[in-house]
Amino acid sequence: MPHEINQMVYVGEEPWHHLGRRLPQNASYAEIAEAAGFFEVLARPLYAPGVLEPLPDRRALVRADTGEYLATVGDKYEVVQARDVARTLVEAAAGVKAIFHTAGTLGPTGARFWLLGELPEPMRVKGDSSIIRRYIVGSSAHDASSPVVLQNVATRVVCANTLGVALGEKTKARWAIRHTKSAPERLQEAARGFRELVDGYRRFEQLANVLATTRFSDRKMERVVDRVLPVPEDERDHPRLGNARAKVVQLFEAGAGLHGLRGTAWGAFQAVTEYADHHRSIRSGDQERASKRLESVWFGGSAELKRAGLAAIADEAGVALAA
């Protein structure tokens, strides 16, 4: 059944709707930080066992609210608080009319935090009955594993396939913002990043329309599967891998919402994306599985699979990904 978010109707079951917090309309950065559960991070001296003096070139990052350990960093590492990132992104997003409506944290300690915004006017692709929401996710991590990143996470509504993460920097679909002390410098970088992503969406729409009108044979799809899910050269059976390969082929033949797209390069891309987002195995406990899946879809193994899949499909179709 469709569900409503900020007066907009969504048909798909995007995972962030369950993992993130819905935000008030036109939420301020302070409201976002509070609703999403963003916490402050402190840098503390780090001690080696049995040594009374702190290590001179290392510090520990801990949660200010619970004291929980997050990461060890060098003494020159600059902590950027989630609240400050939220403020920077909210202010910069106004320049492209993006509205943030969901935010949250990921991981057992909540170290990775994210804000999901949407650009006005969804994409439409020739022959595709589903609209594509023009989402942008802003994220960073308190465990020193990621800078502040803006990323295209365009999502095809009918099947909740996250398409944009298959694109990279060359297609203006991802923008990293440096960790600096200067708030004005961060704001300038974020504003530039949003403009780049808007430009990247125009390129993505052009690419999508080319893929949607490019015929793609079963044999080409088999070669794509061989490239993105290759069978090892040893002679042992690989039932899980075999099932994965068969599933991608099956989705190319009869994936969700593929009416009118069967036999096109756009349909092939949907097959790889649907497998990566909804069928790829995620190793974790039941309570962590949804969080692990979203992290994989946006930042991890599933995102990498989609990037490899799009590159292979474009190569087989003779389509250039970036100018």
Question: Residue 101's pLDDT is what?
Answer: 87
Same domain, 155 and 266: no
Question: Are residue 196 and residue 229 in the same domain, yes or no?
Answer: no
Structure confidence at residue 3 (pLDDT): 31
- Three-state DSSP state, 163: coil
Identify whether 183 is part of a domain: yes
Q: Rounded to two decimals, what is the model's pTM?
A: 0.88
Q: Are 61 and 46 within 8 A, CB to CB?
A: no
Nearest to 22 by CA among 77, 92, 83, 100: 100
- The DSSP H or E segment spanning 252 is helix 239-254
- DSSP class of residue 229 equals S
Based on the domain organization, do 132 and 150 belong to the same domain? Answer: yes
In a domain, 94, yes or no: yes
CA dihedral of residues 284, 289, 292, 296 (deg, nearest 10): 100
200 belongs to a structural domain: yes
Q: Does some domain include residue 323?
A: no
State residue 170's pLDDT score.
79
Asked whether residue 322 is assigned to any structural domain, the reply reads no
Please tell me whether residues 33 and 128 are part of one structural domain: yes
- Residue for token pair 């692990």: 292
Please check whether residues 45 and 177 belong to one and the same domain: yes
User: Of the candidates 129, 123, 148, 128, which has an alpha carbon nearest to the alpha carbon of residue 138?
Assistant: 148
Would you state the structure tokens that stand for residue 9, as one six-digit string? 């109707």
16 and 141 share one domain: yes
Task: With respect to residue 274, please indicate whether it lies within any of the assigned structural domains.
Answer: yes
What is the per-residue pLDDT for 285? 55
Domain-embedded: residue 268: yes
Residue 251: domain span:
214-317
* 3 strand-pairing partners: 10
The pLDDT profile of the chain, 323 residues, written as one tens digit per residue, is: 233 333 333 334 566 666 778 888 777 888 888 889 999 999 999 998 888 899 999 999 999 999 999 999 998 888 889 999 999 999 999 899 999 989 999 988 999 999 999 999 999 999 999 999 999 999 999 888 888 999 999 999 988 899 999 998 778 899 988 766 676 788 888 999 999 999 999 999 999 999 999 999 999 999 999 999 998 877 567 788 999 999 999 999 987 778 889 999 999 999 999 999 999 987 755 557 788 888 999 999 999 999 999 999 999 999 998 75
Give the pLDDT confidence score for residue 65 in this predicted structure: 94
Are 18 and 290 a contacting pair, CB within 8 Å? yes
Residue at 282 is within a domain:
yes
Same domain, 96 and 110: yes
Task: Report the C-alpha gap between 80 and 189 in whole angstroms.
Answer: 15
149, 136 in Cβ contact below 8 A?
no
Residues 176 and 288 in one domain: no
Among positive and negative, which fits the CA dihedral 194, 299, 7, 156? Answer: positive
Which of 174, 209, 244 is the C-terminal boundary of a domain?
Answer: 209
Give the end-to-end CA distance of the chain in Å, rounded to a whole number.
40
- Same domain for 36 and 111, yes or no, is yes
Domain count, the chain: 2
How much is the pLDDT for 8?
A: 31
Write down the pLDDT at residue 18: 64
Boundary (domain end) residue, out of 209, 239, 258: 209
Same domain, yes or no: 178 and 125? yes
Radius of gyration of the chain (CA): 21
* pLDDT value, residue 307: 96
Helices of type H across 95-238: 183-212, 218-228
Given 183, 209, 235, the domain boundary residue is 209
